């Protein structure tokens, strides 16, 4: 865990989902790779050719943007795949129930946090796909409010998504805490907008964070 800033008064926690609320490197990899495999299938290339092409683009983009990371959604847009198509692919292809299971300790932690803070999720997956992931880990009832790829038709980092999170929770930027596993995608923009930010590596860090906030 890396704490960048915790607001003196925290009213809302904005959670990323994938790689943040669960610990499963296999599924984090699969949900990206399954889309690349489908891209290959629909564009007449081998799976490895597609992987190599997308990896090369992301490396080139990172080099041109001072080492920052670009999301898969924004990468596919550069390859001519509109956000609307990415949404359909993710809803069709992502199968979190095959990789994830309920985490009783995380569920208990989120229930405790929900009594003191407004909780909301921001994800680069469509809302329905994100609900399937939350259901797989047993957190869908605790985290019903999700802002996804199909909410603003934007992929993180997106000021529109963060502005909507603040509006939905009724909490100003300065009292929001963004929690995610990727600095460039989940945390850099919230910090710039005046929010707090904590980088985590999975569910275990969320459980530890709850103790810190308490």
- The mean pLDDT of 168-196, rounded to a whole number, is 98
**pTM of the predicted structure, to 2 decimals:** 0.92
pLDDT of res. 70: 94
Half-sphere exposure of 135 (CA within 13 A, CB side): 10
Confidence check: pLDDT of 174 > 90: yes
- What would the mean pLDDT of 152-180 be, rounded to a whole number? 97
Degrees to nearest 5, angle at CA 169 with 163 and 172: 60
d(CA 195, CA 170): 14
User: Has residue 150 got a pLDDT over 90?
Assistant: yes
Does residue 169 carry a pLDDT above 90? yes
- Cα angle, residue 142 at apex, residues 210 and 192 outer, rounded to 5°: 55
The Cα–Cα gap between 205 and 115 comes to 19
pLDDT digits (tens, 9 = 90+) for 189-208: 999 999 999 999 999 999 99
54-71 pLDDT, tens digit each: 999 999 999 999 999 999
Q: How confident is the model at residue 35 (pLDDT cuts 50, 70, 90)?
A: very high
Would the pLDDT of 78 be above 90?
Answer: yes
Give pLDDT, residue 104. Answer: 96
The pLDDT tens digits of the residues spanning 8-27 come to 999 999 999 999 999 999 99
Report the pLDDT averaged over residues 137-164. 96
pLDDT of residue 49: 98
Mean of the per-residue pLDDT values of the chain: 96
Find out if CATH 3.40.50.1000 is the number for domain 2-24+101-213.
Answer: yes
- Sheet of 2-5: strands edge to edge? 2-5, 196-199, 176-180, 12-15, 118-122, 146-147
Please report, for the chain, the start and end positions of each structural domain, with discontinuous segments joined by +.
2-24+101-213, 26-97
Q: With bands split at pLDDT 50, 70 and 90, how would you rate the model's confidence at 214?
A: confident
Query: What is d(CA 34, CA 48) in angstroms, rounded to the nearest whole number?
Result: 12
Residue 89 CA to residue 37 CA, distance in Å, equals 11
Which residue matches tokens 């925290």?
10
For 137-163, what is the mean pLDDT?
Answer: 96
Give φ, ψ of 199 to 5 degrees: -95, 130
- Cβ neighbors of 137 (< 8 A, separation 6 or more) are 21, 22, 100, 101, 102, 103, 106, 107, 203
pLDDT surpassing 90 at residue 32 = yes
Share of the chain above pLDDT 90, in %: 99
- pLDDT of res. 8: 93
Work out the angle at residue 178's Cα, subtended by the Cα atoms of residues 210 and 136, and round it to the nearest 5 degrees.
Answer: 70
* H-state helical runs in the chain: 25-42, 47-64, 72-78, 83-93, 104-114, 127-137, 149-152, 159-169, 188-192, 203-213
């Amino acid at each position: 865990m890396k704490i960048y800033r915790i607001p003196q008064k925290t009213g809302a926690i904005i959670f990323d989902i994938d790689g943040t609320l669960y610990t499963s490197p296999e599924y984090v990899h699969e949900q990206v790779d399954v889309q690349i495999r489908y891209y290959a299938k629909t564009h007449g290339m081998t799976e490895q050719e597609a992987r190599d092409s997308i990896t090369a683009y992301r490396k080139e983009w990172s080099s041109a943007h001072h080492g920052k990371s670009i999301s898969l959604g924004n990468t596919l847009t550069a390859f001519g795949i509109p956000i609307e198509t990415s949404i359909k692919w993710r809803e069709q292809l992502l199968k979190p129930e095959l990789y994830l299971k309920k985490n009783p300790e995380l569920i208990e932690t989120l229930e405790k946090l929900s009594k003191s803070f407004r909780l909301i999720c921001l994800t680069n997956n469509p809302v329905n796909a994100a609900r399937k992931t939350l259901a797989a880990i047993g957190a869908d009832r605790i985290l019903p409010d999700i802002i996804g790829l199909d909410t603003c038709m934007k992929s993180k980092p997106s000021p529109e998504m963060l502005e909507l999170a603040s509006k939905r929770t009724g909490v100003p930027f300065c009292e929001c805490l963004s929690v995610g596993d990727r600095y460039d995608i989940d945390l850099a923009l919230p910090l710039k907008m005046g929010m707090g930010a904590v980088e985590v590596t999975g569910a275990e860090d969320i459980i530890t964070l709850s103790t810190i906030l308490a």
